Structure formats: structure tokens, C-alpha cells
Amino acid sequence: MRWTVVFFSLVLTSFASAQQERAPNVVFIMADDLGWAELGCYGQTKIRTPHVDRLAAEGMRFTQHYSGSPVCAPSRCVLLTGRHTGHAIVRDNWEAGGWGPDEPEGQLPLPTGTYTLGRMFQDVGHTTAVIGKWGLGGPGSTGEPNAQGFDHWFGYLCQRVAHNHYPTHLWRDGTRVELEGNAWGNHVGAVYSHDLMADDALEFVRARADTDEPFFLYLPFHIPHLALQVPDDSLEEYSGLWDDPAYEGDKGYLPHAQPRAAYAAMITRMDRDIGRLLDLLDERELTDDTLVMFTSDNGATFDIGGAHSEFFESGGPLRGRKGSVYEGGLRVPLVARWPGVIEAGRQSDLVSASWDVLPTLAELARVELPVEVDGISFAPTLRGEVSQREHAHLYWEFPAYGGQQAVRLGKWKGVRRGMRKGNDAIALYDLEADVGEQDDVSAEHPDVVTRIAAIMVGDRTPSKRFPLPILDETR
């Protein structure tokens, strides 16, 4: 019996070793404006997310992971390039046009030749796809996904168009796809865009399984970003559960008769489709060869457009929401599952950020990066090793919403806001004692403030397109 146990132990060890030696398939799922506490595995009690909770139970849950920015486009740029907002090409939302149906689409495009996660996986022979919301270049621009390392693309090129979940069109590999039955500005329509994108993701995985091709699938879903829109079969799951006063559309975005039910239903519908994807990986025997990660692009939206982040306690104890460099705007969920490599049911308190994802996946794919990045690989943490390097600090800048900077330095968090009004004062918070950032202790720790002030100057390069008030000359 002892020799039988030893034999099977050696088999399992060899299996895990073989997994770590080969580049995995990767499915990277990113929600849009999902708060740190809007998943069951992060303490949510009202919104059901059983499939993401399953990922956490079968893998690892990070408690101190941060997005690249408190808003959409720069956060996506940071993720794909491994450069934080002090060095990133995109540091704020920039629009090619306005809000009408015939306006030019898109945000600031990534330049030709940008090294992205897609390009990295193409270089190691993976077929690559991005399905969801892009936000890094409109039609015909240098930033289109097919020009930035992705073999397949389907979804919203433009963030403004993505404010309606029943759009008139989406884009597939450079071709505009008309959605019959949807009209500009409609509250409901014939085609719910998320469903099309979820189905396209499943088809992409099926095709790779049929041909036995390794793949990288980036899924930046646009749920639960406003407007509040969800098909009735999902709305029924939450209808009538709570007092739910109608939102009349008076604070931007489209109105909804049951805004709380709609918001919860949107998240649960996304979770349902994540479950369909996990089931497909099981069915095609790809689960053990596939790293699945889930996160959000920034914190939960503020209470506009019918959203009720206070009702859902979307940020948990964290202060601030989307657009803020307080913890509630930046700290986001991150779960990762890779059976046989990531031990099930683990929790990591490692301080990490989305600019760490590219070097992490590069290490797992055995890629020597040809460009400089700001991130540090957390692959050792995923593998349960003790050799994990840690950041000396994390840095963010955000020129909008009054002009903001933030630094995470060990347990300390420095926040500078109101820079457009000439404010250069830095508030200091001890996150170990005050994760809600309520007690400014800058007067008690001037030495720490001085160190953070130096980082706020030294950890960035000036940007003419996205100047930071006080520190950069404006155009």
C-alpha cells in the first residue's frame, strides 16, 4: 500500500510539473464597473454569483488587487501593456466624437506596434481573441484589436456606444455588424449584446478545442456598466425582492422601472455565462490546461443612472467609487483558477495591480518581455511559492475628476485630489488600521508624506495629451 501511495504521489507531482512547464490556455475575464464587494466570494449577500464564486473556491482569491485606473480606457491600456498610468499611453478617457448616432466612434487609439498581451500570446503560437468592450481605438484606427495582437475581435469598439446594451451595431474583425430590431436610444430591443458576445466566446473556445490550438481569450464584458438593461428572464430572478423605486432617467442614462433588480440581474446573467464557459472547458477536457482569471476594470459606479451602490454595499468598507483614487475606485476583485497549479481555496493578501498581469502571463508562457513594464509577475504566488517579489510601491495618476494622484506604500496610502484647483496637499491613510480612508494621519507622519510626494514626481513621465495639473504644463 505504501508503494501505491508513493506512486500516485509521483504521478500527481509530475502532472503539476508538466502543467507549469507548458504555456497554458488563458481566459481573462474583466467586468465593467464591478465593485470590490459585488461578488459572493467577496461578501456580497444580495447578488448571486455562483460561478465566479466557484472559480474562487477552486482557485485563489486576491484581497489587495488594484485596477490600472478608476475609469475604463486607461484601465484597459494598463492591463494590456503592463505600464501604469504614470507611463501609459492612455491616462484618461478621450473621445473621438460625441453622443449622437452619427458621431465618430472610439477613444484614443493605441499606436502601431504597441506590445500588448495579445501580441505576446501570438508570439508563442496561441490563437488570440478579444470579445467585449475595447475602448482603445475606433474603426479604421491604429488601435483596432486586429492591429494590436488579436486574431479575432467581436464587440464594442467605442465606450460611448456601449452605454446601451441594445446597440444598433457591433464590430467583428473590422466589419460593422448591424443588429436588426435594435434602434438608437432604445430602452429594449431584439438583440441583447452581451448574449451575442458570450455566445461568440463559446464558439471561439469550441473551435480551438476542435483544432487543438492553444489560445488566449480576453473577455472584457461590459456588464454591469450602465445603462440598466437586461432581458426579462433574468430580471424575473430579482423582481419584487426589495423596495425598488423606479429610476426616471433624470441623472443620465436610460430609465428603468426596477433599477435594483435590473442591476443585480445583469451581474447574475454575466455570471451565468461564465458558468457556461467553465462547463465548456470541462466538456472539452480543457480545464486542467486553462488558467481562468476574473477581475474588474475599476470600482463600482457612483449612484447615478439608477445604480444603487450604497444599497448593494458595492465597495464594502472602501471609500469612493469609479473615478476616484480612493480604495473604492481602484481596489477590485481578482480570482484565478488553474487546477493542479493553483491550490484550491487559497487567499492571497499580496498587493498587486493590473499592470502585473502581463509579466505574470509572460512568465507562465515562458516569454522574455522585449519591452519595459512596470509590473511584477505574481506567478510565484499562483504556484504557491515563497519567492514572490513585491512592489516597493504602486502609483496612479488620473487627470480627470479634478486631477488626482495616489500611491500605495506598504500599509500607507497617499491621496492627492483637487489638483485642477491648485491643491498639492497629500492626505495619508494607514490601510491596516483604516481601510475606509477616513482618518488623515499626514500630520503625524510627515516623513512618509515626503516619500510619497517624491514618488508622485519621480514615478511618471509628463503627458502632453493627458497633462496632470500642477506637475505638467497644460496645452
Domains recognised in the chain with CATH numbers: 22-382 (3.40.720.10), 394-458 (3.30.1120.10)
pLDDT band at 303 (very low <50, low <70, confident <90, very high): confident
Mean pLDDT confidence for 274-301:
98
Class of residue 219 by CB neighbours under 10 A (exposed 0-12, middle 13-18, buried 19+): buried
pLDDT in tens, 408-426: 999 999 999 999 999 999 9
155 strand-pairing partners: 132, 171
Residue 462: helix, strand or coil by DSSP? coil
What single letter denotes the amino acid at residue 307? A
Q: Is the pLDDT of residue 20 over 70?
A: no
The whole-angstrom separation of Cα 469 and Cα 467 is: 6
DSSP string, 334-367: EEEE-TTTSPTTEEEEEEEEGGGHHHHHHHHTT-
pLDDT at 473: 63
Bridging pattern class, strands 169-172 and 25-31: unpaired
Bridging pattern class, strands 152-156 and 127-133: parallel
Q: Strand order in 394-398's β-sheet?
A: 394-398, 404-409, 412-416, 427-430
Dig out the grid coordinates for 317 from the structure: 468598507
pLDDT at 427: 98
The whole-angstrom separation of Cα 155 and Cα 144 is: 11
pLDDT band at 251 (very low <50, low <70, confident <90, very high): confident
Q: Is the pLDDT of residue 21 over 70?
A: no
Bridging pattern class, strands 127-133 and 215-219: parallel
- Taking every pair of Cα atoms in the chain, the longest distance, rounded to a whole number of angstroms, is 77
Q: How far is CA 445 from CA 248, 268, 325, 427, in A?
A: 47, 44, 21, 11
Higher-pLDDT residue of 15 and 228 is 228
Cell 481578482, residue?
334
The whole-angstrom separation of Cα 236 and Cα 273 is: 17
What single letter denotes the amino acid at residue 446? P
Q: Please choose, from the candidates 135, 207, 201, 139, the residue with its C-alpha nearest in 3D space to the C-alpha of residue 173.
A: 139
Mean pLDDT of the chain: 94
Q: Quick one: how far is CA 434 from the chain centroid?
A: 25
Mean pLDDT confidence for 27-46:
98
Dig out the grid coordinates for 416 from the structure: 492627492
Mean pLDDT confidence for 427-439:
98
Mean pLDDT confidence for 66-74:
98
Q: Is the pLDDT of residue 7 over 70?
A: no
pLDDT in tens, 156-185: 999 999 999 999 999 999 999 999 999 998
By percentage, how much of the chain surpasses pLDDT 70?
A: 95
Dig out the grid coordinates for 382 from the structure: 499562483
pLDDT in tens, 382-402: 999 999 999 999 999 999 999
pLDDT band at 113 (very low <50, low <70, confident <90, very high): very high
